[in-house]
Amino acid sequence: MFNGIINNKGTIIGIKKLDKSCLIEMKNDFNFKKSDLGRSIACNGACLTLTEVNRKSIFFYLSEETLLKTNFKKVRLHDLVNLEKSLKYGDILSGHFVQGHVDTTAIVEKIEIVDKTWVITFSIKKKYLKYLVYKGSITVNGVSLTISLIHKNNFVISIIPHTLKLTNLIKLKNKDIVNIEFDIIGKYLLKLNN
């Protein structure tokens, strides 16, 4: 379990493509130890298992399912990745409950800058619109954000300078693909009502 508050980023420095999966290596500022192997780390919002630690490098295996559901299918060297360690008992929950189970991806449709805030419109498949709640929580590339507008085929979020500084969202441009996880509480409520 995570909370979508990002304080660290990693840089992709190695990609080994396999038949239907891949291995990635990231440089990062966390001080992982060998004892951290097997730990869950949210990488752009996708819960991945830490498989190897080598000085400042960390390694992850991405299954076919992860590649199909996330923006890691387009991963390139030098990409920045939002990283979050899993919550432990007693941690402050500043964002919202995030599982690290990416539901789908969305595409950046438009970026407007209002003062220092980025107002970003994301297009999403119509079948996922039912999970969007006005002023509700959503996770974009692992970042806990609030939905400010919902339209027929898209939704809008506003990102403040502090969040931009700490995350890879500052690198977004039109047509980029982002990972989306809908609020787990909303998903359960929708399931109970069907």
Which of 80, 79, 62 lies closest to 70 in space, CA to CA? 62
Distance in angstroms between the alpha carbons of the first and the last residue of the chain: 26
The answer on 145 and 73 residing in a single domain is no
The answer on 78 and 156 residing in a single domain is no
> 184 or 79, which is more confident?
79
7-61 pLDDT, tens digit per residue, is 999 999 999 999 999 999 999 988 888 899 999 999 999 999 999 998 889 999 9
Q: How much of the chain exceeds pLDDT 90, in percent?
A: 82
Grade residue 185 by pLDDT with cuts at 50, 70 and 90.
confident
133 Rama class: left (phi>0) / alpha (psi -120 to 50) / beta: beta
The answer on 108 and 184 residing in a single domain is yes
The answer on 15 and 76 residing in a single domain is yes
Q: Is residue 188 part of a domain?
A: yes
pLDDT of 91: 79
125-163 pLDDT, tens digit per residue, is 999 999 999 999 999 999 999 999 999 999 999 999 999
pLDDT of 140: 98
CB 167 within 8 A of CB 9: yes
The answer on 136 and 57 residing in a single domain is no
pLDDT at 192 over 90: no
Averaged pLDDT score across all residues of the chain: 94
The answer on 116 and 178 residing in a single domain is yes
Q: Is residue 23 part of a domain?
A: yes
Ranges assigned E (strand) in 73-192: 80-85, 104-114, 117-123, 137-140, 143-150, 154-159, 177-182
Q: Is residue 92 part of a domain?
A: no
Which of 12, 73, 89, 5 lies closest to 45 in space, CA to CA? 5
Residue 60 dihedral angles phi and psi, to the nearest 5°: -135, 145
User: Which pTM was predicted?
Assistant: 0.94
The range of the structural domain enclosing residue 59 comes to 8-85
50-108 pLDDT, tens digit per residue, is 999 988 899 999 999 999 999 999 999 999 999 999 988 877 778 888 999 999 999 99
Which residue matches tokens 């996330």? Answer: 70
Residue 67 CB-half CA count within 13 A? 18
pLDDT of 90: 79
Q: Is residue 130 part of a domain?
A: yes
